[in-house]
Amino acid sequence: MTSPEEPRFPEYRSRKQARRQAQWHSYPPPSDEGPDQMSPWVSAPKPGRSRRMVAMVVVLVVLILVGVLFGIGVGRGGGPAEVPNDGPDAVRAVDWLMSADRLSAILEAKIERNRDAVNSALHPLWDSIEYNDHNRTALYALNYFLIDLKVATGMGVDRAEIREYQELINEYEERFWAGQPLGRDVTIRYEDRTFSYDGSTGEGGWTED
């Protein structure tokens, strides 16, 4: 009885594959059916490494999506902000892609600008509106409204709220530059004095307690 002929194997130069040659005898020789059939002599990737590669790809895709969705905030994100042109002739619009960090930075810049201007007749803000007690009172009130929005922004806002806050800022500033009542009352009490503002008449100011 003759023993069956041993299957022929191609010559392999890889030492690793040479050490595994004993395992190859359990496989048939490579097929000539085409490249769609994977040769049993091609070692499959290790499961652990494969899972790590898949995880890295998933993380990369997530980072790209975050950059697309929110990274408009890279250009519109945090960092120091200059006060945009918000004078009486400014064209006001809502930036639908603005991030919360960018909105907070713009609010901070406006608050600082108004704080500097309220007691200085030489501030450039007063180049476009008369410096008097009535307008100074309105600027005080406007700044309180902006501070209120900045605090709310810092507590967390979604896209709809960011747009809503921009619309409120535009409305307050349009009224201020036009010399109109701001449409919202405010009362701030300190230990020895109180600031009040009537949003329907534009009257208000400081009173001693």
Residue 165 has pLDDT above 70, yes or no: yes
List residues bridging with 194 in a β-sheet. 189, 207
Please give the residue that has the higher pLDDT: either 140 or 50: 140
Q: What are phi and psi of 187, to 5 degrees?
A: -140, 120
**DSSP E strand stretches across the chain:** 186-189, 193-197, 204-208
What's the mean pLDDT when you consider all of the chain? 74
pTM, entire model: 0.60
Q: Mean pLDDT throughout 28-55?
A: 49
- pLDDT tens, 118-138? 999 999 999 999 999 999 999
* pLDDT, position 93: 80
Q: Mean pLDDT throughout 68-86?
A: 45
- pLDDT tens, 7-25? 554 454 444 444 444 444 4
Residue whose entry in the numeric block shows the structure tokens 């490579």: 30
- pLDDT tens, 145-154? 999 999 999 9
Q: Sketch the domain layout of the chain as residue ranges.
A: 77-208
Instruction: Spell out the residues 6+ positions from residue 207 whose beta carbon is closer than 8 angstroms to its own.
Output: 193, 194, 196
Residue whose entry in the numeric block shows the structure tokens 């969705």: 69
Length of the chain: 209
